[in-house]
Chains A and B, each alone.
Chain A
Amino acid sequence: MDFNDTPEQAKFRAECREWLETNAEPKENKASGHSDSSLENHLQIAKEWQKKKYDAGWAMLHWPKEYGGIEASPIERIIWGQEEAKFNVPGGIFEIGLGMCGPVMMQYATQEQKERYLAPMAEGKEIWCQLFSEPAAGSDVAGLRSKAERDGDDWIINGQKVWTSGAHYSDFGILVVRHDPDIAKHKGLTFFFVDMKSPGITVKPIKQITGQAGSGSGFNEVYFDDVRIPDSQRLGEIGDGWKVAITTLMNERLAVGDAKGSDIEEALMLSKSKDDAGEALIKNDSVRERLADWFCEANGLKYTKFRTISALSKGEAPGPEASITKIVSANKLQEIGNFGIDSGDMAGMLIDDENGVSSFQGAWLGAPGLRIAGGTDEILRNVIAERVLGLPQDPRADKGLAFKDIPTKA
């Protein structure tokens, strides 16, 4: 047992490090990144950084060589991620494209389309988004209702998507819609990619409980009114939409991972700091107990990740242990945020005039979203129970019904 790289991994890490050191600024030891710039500014910086990485071959390590990647192993991707995270570089713009849309295009698009779209995606010229969730189709995403009707060589799309990260600045999107409501739920779906500038598409940022809308990689509603998509932009066969979507959803569950934000270290620092009377919160037994619990969770997640990395490092398939990560980290984030606010006692709700919402307040506001995005706590418990432990699926009330006959209200 040790935490060391193998000689090959150490060599790869050194190469990452060397390139990053000459091309980026190391992160100062601060919890917050650079998020005060405007969206346009952030996009500009992100595109420049992506281009820089692309030119040097670091942009999409895991992609096949024919599409400009180096077919990096999972452990190499992790090493690159660990090293890049030590530098002050923009993120959150290209992950959906490179992680979900790119792979699906490689598998299902024509050669001509791959040549047209993959390089600009990798280079950061064009941004992609994912259009799956709908107002009436969240956890049960296969229950989506947006319609695709055939019209000659085109399809005409009508309906609404929701929770689409980055739709407001994306150039293209991948889309699942229903081409046939008269057959079973999962069978009536078809998958496309769409130009987000197509006539009939309206993007509206969602104002979240944080009060923010459209900032960073914020969420959007996307409306489709008689939007035309050529049949040549269909990915997979008619009726294969669910199969194609599942591949990308698997990638999403892996991508969401840890809930970022205030963690045990910040809670510990806060607990140790003294109030006006010279007392530290850590002297309070109820605080001590909670610190112990959070440390067990944070440390347990950290070494769970190390176990996964250890398996990858040996070229083995990791166990299912990483499936606990989001449930534990999002709930811990909510509790720690709550604790940070409580530390201000009667004035805990106040927002600082100069610094704005504190990291604890931000954690408390954002955590409810993290407990839902990329699979709710409840869906993830079902996933653990069914896929990890092998328990039977729930009987489904919509089984064997044509989609149009599935009940939607009492």
Chain B
Amino acid sequence: MNLDFSNDQKYLQDEARKFFDKEGGLGIARGVMDNAEDYNKELWAKIVELGWTGIRIPEEFDGLGLGHLELCVIAEELGRSLAPVPFSSSVYLFTEALIKYASNEIKSEILPKLVSGEIVGTYAIAEDMHQATESNLTTSLNADNISGTKIAIPDAGIASHMIVVVKSTNGVDLRLVDLSDSSVKITPQKNLDTSRAFFKAEFQDTPSTIIGEAGQGWSYTQHLLDQAAVLFAFEQVGGSQAALDMAKAYSMERFAFGRQIGSYQAIKHKLADMYIALTLAKSNSYYGAWALSSESSELPLAAATARVSATKAFQLCSKENIQTHGGNGFTWEYDCHLFYKRSKMLSVLLGSEATWKEKLVSNLEKTNTLEKR
């Protein structure tokens, strides 16, 4: 039994934590919010320099050729520090899509540039204020050109390339688009978590290249979302831990009625419940990491379980961190709202809690017996 990361992976995580602390920790996310920026350029440049955008990219394409477990430990630290960078869009979704499904020609053209930072990618699914399904997509394909509108796309204003999920005569396809084409119009969209940026993309006969096989776009997307759900869960676990640590520190230094507020059971039990939710989320995420890294057929169930559990944990920890801080927690000055907003952003970005609970249960419905181990 070895449900743990290796010493090398733990070392990488340690280095990542030190790196984010040294660069300014939560202050970087706050800076992006205060200055209405799309991301922090310097931090992103340093992440590229460290080689993290190429963690999963094979060495033949200039990457580090490492596995998903390395990505999990980095994700936890991105989540802990609320790093305002397009890492999840470009690495978990765009890069993974190319590694898994693109032709060798596209791989050799794009992957090395993802490593060098010349290319930043993102992934566009949503078109409306409801759940996207295989049948309600309207972005369409005419020969190799796409037309339509995608919304709530993270990091599209920073990205040079995008994978667009489109309706085609074959069903659903994945299409790669170079966003520098004059037919593409990218507009910023206001959102609740201003430490990250979201955009609308309008396509008018925009040239595109197919990724993988025609008609497979929806099942590719589901797999990529399952993979990303595990990585997001690690970001949520990192964020939950940071919010719990913050609540704990405050409950030790704040006095009321002549006592540390952390000596009241009302606060202790609140924090204990945060710890319980976090521990369940972490263990479910480890299960997800195992399924992801071993390419197990259990991935859809493991990913949904990690996602639901981690979404619940981060939402609980971030809102109860505000509550523990009392009035201070509701000010812009205290960092509590950074966690609260990031938690909400992460909980909807890959689809809502209800969507993932439904995935979880439909996977349970399909299995006759639960895995015995």
Question: Does B13 make an interface contact (CB < 8 A)?
Answer: no
Q: Which of A50-58, A166-174, A216-224, A320-328 contacts B (4 or more CB under 8 A)?
A: A320-328
The answer on a CB contact under 8 Å between B263 and A1 is: no
Least distance between A77 CB and chain B CB atoms (Å): 14
Given contacts A1-B294, A391-B252, contact A296 B2 (CB under 8 A): no
| Cβ–Cβ < 8 Å partners of A1 in chain B | 2-5, 69, 286, 289-290, 293-294
Least distance between A305 CB and chain B CB atoms (Å): 8
Q: How far is the CA of A1 from the CA of B283 in the complex (A)?
A: 13
Least distance between A323 CB and chain B CB atoms (Å): 8
| Cβ–Cβ < 8 Å partners of B281 in chain A | 300
The answer on a CB contact under 8 Å between B365 and A303 is: no
Which of chain B's residues 346-373 have a Cβ closer than 8 Å to chain A?
Answer: 357-358, 360-361, 364-365, 369-370, 373
The answer on a CB contact under 8 Å between A310 and B1 is: yes
| Cβ–Cβ < 8 Å partners of A303 in chain B | 3, 283-284, 286-287
Given contacts A3-B3, A389-B248, A394-B265, contact A296 B280 (CB under 8 A): yes
Q: How far is the CA of A54 from the CA of B262 in the complex (A)?
A: 49
The answer on a CB contact under 8 Å between A395 and B259 is: yes
Given contacts A292-B357, A381-B268, A388-B275, contact A268 B262 (CB under 8 A): no
In the complex formed, the residue of B with least CB distance to A306 is: B3
Question: Does A288 make an interface contact (CB < 8 A)?
Answer: yes
Question: Does B273 make an interface contact (CB < 8 A)?
Answer: yes
B271 touches which one: A291, A391, A395 (CB < 8 A)?
A391
| Cβ–Cβ < 8 Å partners of A309 in chain B | 1, 3
In the complex formed, the residue of B with least CB distance to A316 is: B4
Q: How far is the CA of A328 from the CA of B282 in the complex (A)?
A: 15
Residues 298-310 of B, flagged 1 when their CB comes within 8 A of A and 0 if not, give 0000000100110
A300 touches which one: B252, B280, B290, B373 (CB < 8 A)?
B280
Question: Does A392 make an interface contact (CB < 8 A)?
Answer: yes
The answer on a CB contact under 8 Å between A264 and B370 is: yes
Q: How far is the CA of A295 from the CA of B279 in the complex (A)?
A: 15
Residues 320-347 of A, flagged 1 when their CB comes within 8 A of B and 0 if not, give 0100100110000000000000000000
Residues 277-308 of A, flagged 1 when their CB comes within 8 A of B and 0 if not, give 00000100000110111011101111110110
The count of residues in chain A whose C-beta lies closer than 8 Å to any C-beta of chain B is 51
| Cβ–Cβ < 8 Å partners of B260 in chain A | 391-392
The answer on a CB contact under 8 Å between B365 and A389 is: no
The answer on a CB contact under 8 Å between A378 and B265 is: yes
Given contacts A292-B361, A296-B280, A304-B280, contact A310 B2 (CB under 8 A): yes
In the complex formed, the residue of A with least CB distance to B269 is: A381
Given contacts A282-B361, A292-B361, A385-B268, contact A4 B2 (CB under 8 A): yes
Question: Does A393 make an interface contact (CB < 8 A)?
Answer: yes
A392 touches which one: B263, B271, B360 (CB < 8 A)?
B263
Question: Does A225 make an interface contact (CB < 8 A)?
Answer: no
Q: How far is the CA of A394 from the CA of B358 in the complex (A)?
A: 42
Question: Does A7 make an interface contact (CB < 8 A)?
Answer: no
B1 touches which one: A5, A291, A378 (CB < 8 A)?
A5
Least distance between A295 CB and chain B CB atoms (Å): 6
| Cβ–Cβ < 8 Å partners of B69 in chain A | 1
In the complex formed, the residue of B with least CB distance to A280 is: B365
Question: Does B50 make an interface contact (CB < 8 A)?
Answer: no
Least distance between B361 CB and chain A CB atoms (Å): 5
Q: How far is the CA of A289 from the CA of B262 in the complex (A)?
A: 34
Q: How far is the CA of A304 from the CA of B277 in the complex (A)?
A: 12
Question: Does B276 make an interface contact (CB < 8 A)?
Answer: yes
Question: Does B251 make an interface contact (CB < 8 A)?
Answer: yes
In the complex formed, the residue of B with least CB distance to A394 is: B263
In the complex formed, the residue of A with least CB distance to B356 is: A292
Question: Does A406 make an interface contact (CB < 8 A)?
Answer: no
Residues 33-48 of A, flagged 1 when their CB comes within 8 A of B and 0 if not, give 0000000000000000
Least distance between B279 CB and chain A CB atoms (Å): 5
A296 touches which one: B264, B269, B309, B370 (CB < 8 A)?
B309
Question: Does B150 make an interface contact (CB < 8 A)?
Answer: no
Question: Does A152 make an interface contact (CB < 8 A)?
Answer: no
The answer on a CB contact under 8 Å between A324 and B276 is: yes
In the complex formed, the residue of A with least CB distance to B245 is: A389
The answer on a CB contact under 8 Å between A296 and B305 is: yes
Least distance between A350 CB and chain B CB atoms (Å): 28
| Cβ–Cβ < 8 Å partners of B248 in chain A | 389-391
The answer on a CB contact under 8 Å between B370 and A268 is: yes
Q: How far is the CA of A310 from the CA of B3 in the complex (A)?
A: 6
Q: How far is the CA of A395 from the CA of B265 in the complex (A)?
A: 11
Question: Does A272 make an interface contact (CB < 8 A)?
Answer: yes
In the complex formed, the residue of B with least CB distance to A2 is: B2
Question: Does A386 make an interface contact (CB < 8 A)?
Answer: yes
Residues 1-44 of A, flagged 1 when their CB comes within 8 A of B and 0 if not, give 11111000100000000000000000000000000000000000
| Cβ–Cβ < 8 Å partners of A5 in chain B | 1
Residues 350-393 of A, flagged 1 when their CB comes within 8 A of B and 0 if not, give 00000000000000000000000000001011101110111111
B272 touches which one: A4, A289, A384 (CB < 8 A)?
A384
Question: Does B30 make an interface contact (CB < 8 A)?
Answer: no
Least distance between B299 CB and chain A CB atoms (Å): 14
A385 touches which one: B272, B293, B305 (CB < 8 A)?
B272
The answer on a CB contact under 8 Å between A391 and B279 is: no
Question: Does A405 make an interface contact (CB < 8 A)?
Answer: no
Least distance between A253 CB and chain B CB atoms (Å): 15
Given contacts A1-B294, A303-B283, contact A296 B273 (CB under 8 A): no
Kindly name the residue among A293, A295, A390 whose own CB sees the greatest number of chain B CB atoms within 10 A. A295
| Cβ–Cβ < 8 Å partners of B251 in chain A | 391
B275 touches which one: A2, A314, A389 (CB < 8 A)?
A389
4 tightest CB-CB pairs across the interface, nearest first?
Answer: A300-B280, A385-B268, A381-B272, A303-B283
- Residues of B that sit less than 8 Å from A by CB: 1-5, 69, 244, 248, 251-252, 259-260, 262-265, 267-269, 271-273, 275-276, 279-284, 286-287, 289-290, 293-294, 305, 308-309, 312, 357-358, 360-361, 364-365, 369-370, 373
Given A299-B283, A300-B309, 5 additional A-B pairs, CB 8 A: A296-B280, A303-B284, A307-B4, A389-B244, A391-B248
20 examples of A-B residue contacts, CB within 8 angstroms: A1-B4, A3-B1, A268-B370, A272-B365, A289-B357, A296-B360, A299-B284, A303-B286, A307-B3, A310-B4, A314-B4, A324-B276, A328-B276, A381-B269, A391-B251, A391-B262, A391-B268, A392-B263, A394-B263, A394-B265
- Residues of A that sit less than 8 Å from B by CB: 1-5, 9, 264-265, 268, 272, 282, 288-289, 291-293, 295-297, 299-304, 306-307, 309-311, 313-314, 321, 324, 327-328, 378, 380-382, 384-386, 388-395
